[in-house]
Amino acid sequence: MKVTPEELQRLARFVHDKCGIVLDSSKAYLVESRLLPLLREKNFTSFGDLYNQAVRNPELANRIIDAISTNETSFFRDQRPFELLKFKIFPDVLDAISRSGAGGKSVSIWSAACSTGQEVYTIAVTLHELLGGSITQYRIKITGTDISDTAIMQSSRGLYSQFEIGRGFPQNLLKKYFMPDGLSWRVKDELRAITFFRKINLMEPFGTMGKFDIIFCRNVAIYFSLPNRKSLFERIAAQLNPHGALIIGSTESLFGVTDRFVRREYHNSVFYSLK
């Protein structure tokens, strides 16, 4: 079944208003392939029918956002941000916190748009590997958020297939941080103890999120319009502690988006701090 230009326009406006994702007229194929299973499941006869129901049915609207958003992720995706975290950002943040004398040894990290949780657990493993047994001396909290209910559910469950594990998780660390569960792998309690998940739409005010020392916001803003990207990173700036660091995707840049941040480099890896 094909989506008509009018249906595409209405669905694109709907998706944009709900979550900021931009679907232009070249995305007809994406809309068809991702929404057709939902259309069939619900016995709708056209994409217009799906739209008409979704505007008055929040659960259906969520299903549309879930289907349209790209959840692509993997453990240790792009490697470098985690080296950066381990050798530069985390030590710098600890220094700044101990110099300020405030906050004791609390470190707050946010993975915004964490998809199915691999980024969050990668951060947790990286810090465990860095600190070893002394990790218990710190109050580390890694919060993963995403707009997708199913992604947040999988993240909280912490259960990954062999295929998901095979995409980036180091074999030599597997049994240290995961235990077998049937044909899958379940994260161990030491990772669970420092990881938290909740649903957050990055297009909406952050409300009670609090402040963070380190924020990862990777591979989501690329789907947003420039004004929405600007608004997002300016609101993220407000959530970052003065000594904090922001890591964005390896193909992303804040140039021309906002001047609230200073671009910094460490061994060819890029991160941002507040101006």
* Binding residues for ligand SAM, total number by CB under 6 A: 23
Instruction: Specify the residue, 222 or 274, whose C-beta has the smaller distance to ligand SAM.
Output: 222
Instruction: Specify the residue, 48 or 168, whose C-beta has the smaller distance to ligand SAM.
Output: 168
Beta strand extents in 52-182 (DSSP E only): 106-112, 139-146, 159-161, 178-181
Sequential DSSP letters for 171-203 = GGGHHHHEEEETTEEEE-HHHHTTEEEEE--TT
CB 118 within 8 A of CB 146: no
CB 118 within 8 A of CB 79: no
- Least distance CB 133 / ligand SAM (angstroms): 29
Binding status of residue 62 toward ligand SAM by CB under 6 A = no
Among 62, 126, 143, 148, binds ligand SAM (CB under 6 A): 148
Stretch that binds ligand SAM, among 18-26, 51-59, 176-184, 256-264 (CB under 6 A): 18-26
Among 7, 92, 146, 213, binds ligand SAM (CB under 6 A): 146
CA-based nearest residue to 113, from 216, 262, 185, 189: 216
Amino acid at 85: L
What does each C-alpha distance from 215 to 111, 187, 236 come to in angstroms?
A: 6, 22, 8
- Least distance CB 230 / ligand SAM (angstroms): 14
Instruction: Specify the residue, 72 or 189, whose C-beta has the smaller distance to ligand SAM.
Output: 72
Instruction: Specify the residue, 126 or 148, whose C-beta has the smaller distance to ligand SAM.
Output: 148
Binding status of residue 147 toward ligand SAM by CB under 6 A = yes
What is the pairing mode between strands 269-274 and 261-266? Answer: antiparallel
- Least distance CB 98 / ligand SAM (angstroms): 29
What does each C-alpha distance from 264 to 97, 107, 128, 209, 275 come to in angstroms?
A: 20, 21, 25, 25, 11
Binding site for ligand SAM (CB under 6 A): 19-21, 69-73, 77, 113-115, 119, 146-148, 151, 201-203, 218-220
